[in-house]
Copies of this chain bind each other. A is one copy, B any other.
Amino acid sequence: MPFAYHRTVHFPDTDAAGVVYFANFLSICHEAYEEALQAAGIELKAFFSETGVVIPVSKSEAEYLRPLACGDKLKITVSPALLSENSFAIRYEVIRLGGGNKVAARVRTEHVCISRQKRERAPLPPVLLAWIKAG
């Protein structure tokens, strides 16, 4: 069972078309990733300062299947997978709860681990590697 994050759609998530702005689906998925890390005991505040690495998103892909409106209740599942010793991918499903729990979006991100000092690829920190392998 992948980690699941629950979230309500709020006004600042939407745009003048009346529904969630497409780029905000990615932000909502990134929130789910942050919550998944915290649930695994990885404190974001300390993590990046202590490990000496940054792990930016290097790619994203999204399919937007259904519009989401203010007040909609969402469940976002988070499924990480290792790509190499210094990169991984995450698949997300954004599910609108109620009315059959339909998938509103499928998102995938890739992340690369980079040494802050050398600005080159670095091995993933063990605690993150463990989280990816468990996912």
What would 23 A/B residue contacts be, using CB atoms closer than 8 Å?
Answer: A10-B34, A11-B15, A11-B16, A11-B34, A14-B16, A15-B15, A16-B19, A18-B18, A19-B56, A22-B57, A22-B60, A22-B109, A23-B27, A34-B70, A43-B71, A45-B69, A45-B71, A45-B72, A56-B64, A58-B64, A60-B60, A61-B61, A61-B62
In the bound complex, do residue A23 and residue B30 qualify as a contact, i.e. CB atoms below 8 Å apart? yes
Contacts of A12 in B (CB 8 A): 15, 21, 23, 27, 30-31
Interfacial chain B residues near A21, Cβ < 8 Å: 11-12, 27
Tell me which residues across on chain B come within 8 A of A17, comparing CB atoms: 11, 48, 54, 56
Select from chain B the residue with minimum beta-carbon distance to A46.
Answer: B71
